[in-house]
Chain A
Amino acid sequence: MKKYIILLLAVLVSVPSFAQFEKGGIEGRIVSRSGRIPVPQAEITVRNATGDILQTESGDDGTFLISGIPAGDYTLVVSAPGFATGRVQVEVEDYLKDIFFVSLQPEDIMMDMDDAMFADFDMDDGGYQHVPSTLSTSSDVFDNVAGYDFSQVRFRVRGFDSSTQDVYLSGVRLNDALTGYTPWSLWSGLNEATREKETVSGSALSDYGLGGFNGVTNILGTASSMRKGARFSVLTNSSFYRLRLMASYATGELDNGWSFAANVSTRLGGNDWIQGVYYRSFAYYLAAEKNINDIHRLSLSIFGSPVQRGAQNGSTQEVYDLVGSNYYNSNWGWQDGKIRNARVRNNHEPVAVLKYTFTPAYNWSLDATVVYRTGRNGYSALDWYDAPDPRPDYYRNLPSYMYMEEADYDKRDAEFQAGWATEAWLYNYNNTRHINWDRLYNVNYNSLDDDGNKRSKYIQEERRTDQNDLNLALSTKWISDDYFTVQGGVNFRWNRTEYYKIVKDLLGGDYYLNIDQFAERDFASDPVKIQNDLDYYLAHGEAQKLRQGDKYGYDYYANVRDANVWADFRFAKGGWAAFAAVQGGYNSFWRDGLVRKGLFPNNSLGKSEVAQFFTYRAKAGASYTYGPHRVYANAGYFNDAPYFAESFVSPRTRNTLTPNLTTQKTMSADLSYSFSKNGYRVRVTGYYARINDQTDLMSFYDDSQHSFTNFAMSGIDERHAGVELGFEIPLPVTGLSVLGALNWGDYVYTSTPYVTQTVDNNGELVMDNLPVAYWKSNNIYKKDPATGSILTDAFGNAEVEKVQKHYVPSTPQVAASLGLSYRSPNYLFAGIDVQYFDKMYLDMNPLYRTDMAVMGPDHTWTPQEEEYMASQEQFPRQFVLNANIGKSWYIQRKYNIGISFELRNILNNQALRTGGYEQTRLIDSTNGERYYKFDSRYFYMYGINYMLNIYFRF
């Protein structure tokens, strides 16, 4: 839609004077956006409210002339081989109007992305999850670079979390109801069906609702929106999967008003960098649409993406160094001569979209859309009972567990054993580096109970998050005869998601017992407390013996009911445009336990308290356009409900809501200037946002408590500020231009959050609303340059050198790209760019920022402990070089063959950390004065990799 608006503004439509019948016309020239190269033989369709009026072609110099049409509002639909279809809104009057240039965006066959670009990192141990924050491209030069080139380092636009980016399908917001995560995986592998998108960034207003402060992407997803014709493509690459085959076909709108479209694909195989990671995925999309007299439009789309994909895991640098690769993956082992990954995603979540559009008048329309999502979402993992941790990089298997240099590192003095462990890892003796499936099976084979049955000690479980998600959206749009447009709508969401796990594979055993092994650590002699399903135990006198496919562990519904009403008001006159928009909503959710847990017999089965929130959003913006110059600003205030996923202390066991649950408040503003003329394009934006009252929830083993605990943090505030710059400058050589993008961000934590920590087994309080004192910063102390010891003042207090701020992690805060792009008139293109990333930080574990952890077991603060425990790790800055080349051929204007090849990270930089997390465990020092941290786990960007794409279209 943004493209549409820009074009609209670019042709400077004059104030409409309705219902005149004189004949007029339009003339202009079709050019390519980059380099202003004329586009010959472009197909131009003139359309008004009643349908297509006529069709013509541009001449060899790109010019066209349409005359003899009645005055009124028209849409020019311009299509040409190699370019994305453009639409221009034109008001025809009683003379021949010159609309000058209609620029078409070259169709970018490089930008063939799907969510596979984001390696599936297994973040379970850290309690954090990473989801792509941006996966779309647009005509904006900065957004294009950020969306594609920066994606390989997990760049987050303006530092915002993925859940803040609204992703719509057919006008309905489909971010996950429970986490807010972007829903790209639902249509993963359906690039053709989802290619047509409309994007706005920042706090700008979208056509489908208010949107938030981090942009809105709407995927059209209807049969008529798909490019007409058939297309086949083969893609191979070395970083996601070996092979992708895709076929699609769309009829476009037929004479009888019907449109049909289909898209199927498969993605298969592993990649060059991470072993054990693989794809075995399919995708399908079928859509039909009927247009009745341009007044009624009914569309139905059904799609799904059955995916099996092996996940990767981050390890500590010690492990990476031992293995000699930063791409080591501990999730797999050899079985039957094949690689078997223990952690496999297995999803199939079909989606159906039914959309009805009613356009009774040229200036009034009404949309009603229903989206339903269902199916399975599984993620497997190993589970074990009273047997050693089977993961190869478990800390006790590492040399560092035996020996560390520090003299007071507790129980780490076994140098000889450390030597053996080092050898084992270095030379991979007995597959030390991998899961030993043989051993797991043999343990199960020999685990005979009194009846001679094999009780599995190790199994593969599958954690399921099966959603039923129903969305209803109603919206209407009215364009007044003069300067106003009014839009409004109502949205409703009903979601019931069942969280549970099943026994996926008994690994050679006969059964697994449905008891809680963690409860058993504390309550070994209490058969009631260790029951996962107490009612089963009470009825049968023993815990359930689980067979393959049985549910166990936990089982509960998350119920979500959200509703909101929104309206916006736009004004445009001359070069001025402005908008104001408001939204009010009601969000509620609750847990509904389906089993009674032995530990919490009175608080696990049945409904929890219903968490309810009244929410609102408001935003406003203004712009002024003068020739090629445009200045615009947006501001908004957002009062949003927390998500289910962070609102229960321990949703797997009980109904307790986290304390201090409140709405998240965000204030956001941005100011931009853009320039677009003669192939020059520049956009610069300054942005600022404060996000207050965020909550976070983690569960981890707390060594100081000797048990699993739940850590609920509230009151996390962030401040995001920065500048975005994007530019394209044509060079004297035709078709050659310089492209650049820069994001200079500064995203910091600004508050001291509070934490409530409870023991998972009994709900006992460990920390009751205590400050996470070192969350937003820690002090750096002055040191004697010669000895390195900390200097003290006259009173013996350590002297503070500076207060070190803590930064929002998991994205480079500074990212820049500079490149050359070439496009010849005969459809050859090439590009090269160098990228720079800086200010990348490690995710902080709040436990390490508490007084408890900093002071150590002796409860005594020292400046050394503060610097060691509370400081945040910054990753080194990095450069990356990429290049691409491609060509397409048109045969009789009917067939189109294209090939593109891309090399990324040509310099094979293998030191770029894209993220990671701190583990949550503490090690006592021998003298009990301080704690040591467990090593952090890291993820690295892949080294040199390629992508080759060949397609055929007719």
Chain B
Amino acid sequence: MKFNISNKIFSLIAAASAVLGLSSCEEFGPVFTGKYDEPAPYEYYTDEDFAGKTHVTIAELKAMYPGTPLEISDDIYIKGQVVSSDRSGNVYKTMYIQDETAGIEIKMGKTGLYNEYKTGQWVYILCKDLSLGNYRGMIGLGYESSDPKYETAYIEVQLIIDSHVFRGEMGDPVQPEVLTETTIADPSNLATYVTVPGLVYMNRVFCMLYYDPDGNREDYQNNCLFLDEEGDGNYGINTWALTEERTKAHYYEDRFDGMATKDFVSFTPYSVSQYFEMGSETVQIRSSGYSRFADEEIDPEIRSGAPISATGILTIYDGEYQLTLLDLSGIRIE
């Protein structure tokens, strides 16, 4: 048998090129495997997009809080600039915005918010269906809470965020307002970006440690050890907060004043309030154990009394002023 190989090979090559030719026509169905154009940048919302709605200032909105949780039923919106960033982890799952009248916490319930809401960026918030609530003196906007311990819940659900929080134009970052002993008491400064000057370290902390003496975790009060006694010093906590590792180290060094004899449920990061005084006012700089600077030591100069100015979000907790740093650049020795 003799084959005409060249002919056969030619027909094979022809078939192969037909196969390749066919397949280079774009795919079948909506499955595209080649190039994708990059998506367009977000279009930012402007006032015109909210033409049919009623604009209220943040101060006006907060004033609507009747003393109990309020689910907003009117078609109103607020507009403000983002002043917080959760980049360092000290602000968590929440976002602060302010306009010229006031600031307010938006309980977003998402992490990594700084990726999508830039400091200085304008945001519009349609308030209808959201809830105003009070937490220890702070009026915030979130979602109706089913937990009686809290007046509002984190929004959490992307669909609620997408239908209530709208990105506006990028603006310049808001400059912090420099407070005085007098203006710190002005409620309109709460939840805004401020600088508190003249703070002097008090060598006092507030830190609530959880342990489990009786195995009953429902018994909340009895499971806490409060490190807050005036005159007890800072319990050796020279950092802004306690990471898990640092907590463990402290525990084994018996720094927690007797805690070593009790059982931890588990070691976790802890938030710490470091006390500072501003004349007759006391301001706690409260930092999360999850923040990136938690284990940073407070400059010994500060601990030995050098006055500082601190910049962050001003909050209040049962009448006590607390400052939430966005990051450590908010601390400046004067």
> How far is B110's CA from A396's CA once the two chains are assembled, in angstroms?
10
Residue A476 at the chain B interface, CB threshold 8 Å? no
Question: Assuming the A-B contacts A230-B11, A230-B12, A247-B15, are A310 and B31 also in contact, with contact meaning beta carbons closer than 8 angstroms in the complex?
Answer: yes
Residue B8 at the chain A interface, CB threshold 8 Å? yes
Query: Which of B19-27, B50-58, B175-183, B187-195 lies on the face that meets chain A?
Result: B19-27
> How far is B20's CA from A280's CA once the two chains are assembled, in angstroms?
11
Do B156 and A262 touch across chains, with their CB atoms under 8 A apart? no
**What per-residue 1/0 map shows which CB atoms of B263-291 lie under 8 Å from chain A?**
00110100000000000000000000000
Tell me, rounded to whole Å, the shortest Cβ–Cβ distance linking A121 to chain B: 18
**Chain A positions within 8 Å of B111 at CB level:** 388
Residue B160 at the chain A interface, CB threshold 8 Å? yes
* B292 interface neighbour in A245, A387, A441, A524, Cβ under 8 Å: A524
* Residues 1 to 29 of chain B near chain A (Cβ within 8 Å): 1-3, 5, 8-9, 11-12, 15-16, 18-20, 22-23, 27-29
Do B1 and A255 touch across chains, with their CB atoms under 8 A apart? yes
Do A414 and B16 touch across chains, with their CB atoms under 8 A apart? no
Question: Assuming the A-B contacts A417-B155, A443-B115, are A270 and B41 also in contact, with contact meaning beta carbons closer than 8 angstroms in the complex?
Answer: no
**Chain B positions within 8 Å of A438 at CB level:** 39-40, 42
**What per-residue 1/0 map shows which CB atoms of A828-871 lie under 8 Å from chain B?**
00000000000000000000000000000110000000000000
Do A525 and B296 touch across chains, with their CB atoms under 8 A apart? yes
> How far is B1's CA from A262's CA once the two chains are assembled, in angstroms?
20
Q: Tell me the nearest residue of chain A to B143, going by C-beta.
A: A417
> How far is B110's CA from A266's CA once the two chains are assembled, in angstroms?
45
Tell me, rounded to whole Å, the shortest Cβ–Cβ distance linking B299 to chain A: 15
**Chain A positions within 8 Å of B293 at CB level:** 525
Residue A293 at the chain B interface, CB threshold 8 Å? no
**What per-residue 1/0 map shows which CB atoms of B38-50 lie under 8 Å from chain A?**
1111100000000
**What per-residue 1/0 map shows which CB atoms of A435-453 lie under 8 Å from chain B?**
0011101110111000000
**Chain B positions within 8 Å of A269 at CB level:** 27-29, 31
* A414 interface neighbour in B15, B32, B153, B158, Cβ under 8 Å: B153
Residue B105 at the chain A interface, CB threshold 8 Å? no
Do A432 and B159 touch across chains, with their CB atoms under 8 A apart? yes
Do B158 and A397 touch across chains, with their CB atoms under 8 A apart? yes
Question: Assuming the A-B contacts A270-B31, A278-B33, are A417 and B156 also in contact, with contact meaning beta carbons closer than 8 angstroms in the complex?
Answer: yes
Residue B79 at the chain A interface, CB threshold 8 Å? no
Residue A287 at the chain B interface, CB threshold 8 Å? no
**Chain A positions within 8 Å of B216 at CB level:** 927
Residue A257 at the chain B interface, CB threshold 8 Å? no
Residue A232 at the chain B interface, CB threshold 8 Å? yes
Residue A240 at the chain B interface, CB threshold 8 Å? no
Do A251 and B5 touch across chains, with their CB atoms under 8 A apart? yes
Chain A: residues with Cβ within 8 Å of the partner, total of 71
Do A423 and B159 touch across chains, with their CB atoms under 8 A apart? yes
Question: Assuming the A-B contacts A524-B292, A706-B244, are A388 and B110 also in contact, with contact meaning beta carbons closer than 8 angstroms in the complex?
Answer: yes
**Chain A positions within 8 Å of B218 at CB level:** 926-927
**Chain B positions within 8 Å of A247 at CB level:** 12, 15-16, 19
> How far is B216's CA from A9's CA once the two chains are assembled, in angstroms?
76
* B215 interface neighbour in A437, A439, A858, Cβ under 8 Å: A858
**Chain A positions within 8 Å of B39 at CB level:** 335-336, 437-438, 441-442, 508
Residue B162 at the chain A interface, CB threshold 8 Å? yes
Chain B: residues with Cβ within 8 Å of the partner, total of 64
Q: Tell me the nearest residue of chain B to A448, going by C-beta.
A: B118
Tell me, rounded to whole Å, the shortest Cβ–Cβ distance linking A666 to chain B: 42
**Chain A positions within 8 Å of B294 at CB level:** 524-525
Tell me, rounded to whole Å, the shortest Cβ–Cβ distance linking A229 to chain B: 9
**Chain A positions within 8 Å of B162 at CB level:** 429-430
Residue A319 at the chain B interface, CB threshold 8 Å? no
**Chain B positions within 8 Å of A437 at CB level:** 36, 39
* Residues 430 to 481 of chain A near chain B (Cβ within 8 Å): 430, 432, 437-439, 441-443, 445-447, 457
Q: Tell me the nearest residue of chain B to A413, going by C-beta.
A: B146
Residue B318 at the chain A interface, CB threshold 8 Å? no
Do B115 and A421 touch across chains, with their CB atoms under 8 A apart? no
Do A429 and B159 touch across chains, with their CB atoms under 8 A apart? yes
**Chain A positions within 8 Å of B118 at CB level:** 446
Residue A813 at the chain B interface, CB threshold 8 Å? no
Question: Assuming the A-B contacts A388-B111, A430-B162, are A270 and B28 also in contact, with contact meaning beta carbons closer than 8 angstroms in the complex?
Answer: yes
Q: Tell me the nearest residue of chain A to B111, going by C-beta.
A: A388
Interface of A is mostly: mixed
Do A338 and B36 touch across chains, with their CB atoms under 8 A apart? yes
Do B37 and A336 touch across chains, with their CB atoms under 8 A apart? yes
**Chain A positions within 8 Å of B156 at CB level:** 396, 402, 414, 417
* B112 interface neighbour in A387, A524, A857, Cβ under 8 Å: A387
> How far is B265's CA from A704's CA once the two chains are assembled, in angstroms?
11
Residue B151 at the chain A interface, CB threshold 8 Å? no
Residue B136 at the chain A interface, CB threshold 8 Å? no
Do A338 and B30 touch across chains, with their CB atoms under 8 A apart? yes
**Chain A positions within 8 Å of B29 at CB level:** 242, 269-270
> How far is B42's CA from A927's CA once the two chains are assembled, in angstroms?
44
Do B143 and A416 touch across chains, with their CB atoms under 8 A apart? yes
Tell me, rounded to whole Å, the shortest Cβ–Cβ distance linking B174 to chain A: 18
Residue A308 at the chain B interface, CB threshold 8 Å? yes
Among A247, A340, A522, chain B packs the most CB atoms within 10 A around the CB of: A247
* Residues 156 to 170 of chain B near chain A (Cβ within 8 Å): 156-160, 162
Do A278 and B23 touch across chains, with their CB atoms under 8 A apart? no
**What per-residue 1/0 map shows which CB atoms of A253-296 lie under 8 Å from chain B?**
01100001010111011100000111010100000000000000
Tell me, rounded to whole Å, the shortest Cβ–Cβ distance linking A390 to chain B: 11
> How far is B71's CA from A416's CA once the two chains are assembled, in angstroms?
13
Question: Assuming the A-B contacts A245-B23, A416-B144, are A424 and B157 also in contact, with contact meaning beta carbons closer than 8 angstroms in the complex?
Answer: yes
> How far is B218's CA from A525's CA once the two chains are assembled, in angstroms?
34
Do B245 and A522 touch across chains, with their CB atoms under 8 A apart? yes
Residue A550 at the chain B interface, CB threshold 8 Å? no
Residue A420 at the chain B interface, CB threshold 8 Å? yes
> How far is B155's CA from A264's CA once the two chains are assembled, in angstroms?
56
Residue A51 at the chain B interface, CB threshold 8 Å? no
**Chain A positions within 8 Å of B128 at CB level:** none
* A230 interface neighbour in B8, B32, B146, B158, Cβ under 8 Å: B8
Residue A609 at the chain B interface, CB threshold 8 Å? no
> How far is B16's CA from A265's CA once the two chains are assembled, in angstroms?
8
Do A278 and B5 touch across chains, with their CB atoms under 8 A apart? no
Do A421 and B15 touch across chains, with their CB atoms under 8 A apart? no
Among B3, B144, B244, chain A packs the most CB atoms within 10 A around the CB of: B3
Q: Tell me the nearest residue of chain A to B32, going by C-beta.
A: A338
* Residues 371 to 427 of chain A near chain B (Cβ within 8 Å): 386-388, 396-397, 402, 413-417, 420-421, 423-424
Q: Tell me the nearest residue of chain B to A929, going by C-beta.
A: B217
> How far is B23's CA from A719's CA once the two chains are assembled, in angstroms?
48
Tell me, rounded to whole Å, the shortest Cβ–Cβ distance linking A410 to chain B: 10
> How far is B294's CA from A276's CA once the two chains are assembled, in angstroms?
43
Residue B186 at the chain A interface, CB threshold 8 Å? no
**Chain B positions within 8 Å of A942 at CB level:** none
Tell me, rounded to whole Å, the shortest Cβ–Cβ distance linking A521 to chain B: 9
**Chain B positions within 8 Å of A857 at CB level:** 265
Residue A339 at the chain B interface, CB threshold 8 Å? yes
> How far is B157's CA from A209's CA once the two chains are assembled, in angstroms?
60
> How far is B9's CA from A387's CA once the two chains are assembled, in angstroms?
56
**Chain B positions within 8 Å of A704 at CB level:** 266
Residue A928 at the chain B interface, CB threshold 8 Å? yes
Do B31 and A424 touch across chains, with their CB atoms under 8 A apart? no
* A264 interface neighbour in B2, B19, B32, B146, Cβ under 8 Å: B19
Closest 3 CB pairs of A and B: A269-B28, A338-B32, A424-B159
5 contacts between A and B (CB under 8 A): A260-B5, A340-B36, A417-B155, A522-B244, A525-B292
Instruction: Spell out A's residues near B (CB within 8 Å).
Output: 230, 232, 242-243, 245-247, 249, 251, 254-255, 260, 262, 264-266, 268-270, 276-278, 280, 282, 308, 310, 335-336, 338-340, 344, 386-388, 396-397, 402, 413-417, 420-421, 423-424, 429-430, 432, 437-439, 441-443, 445-447, 457, 508, 522, 524-525, 704, 706, 857-858, 926-928
Add 7 more A-B contacts to A232-B15, A414-B145 (CB < 8 A).
Answer: A242-B29, A245-B22, A266-B23, A269-B27, A270-B27, A402-B157, A414-B153
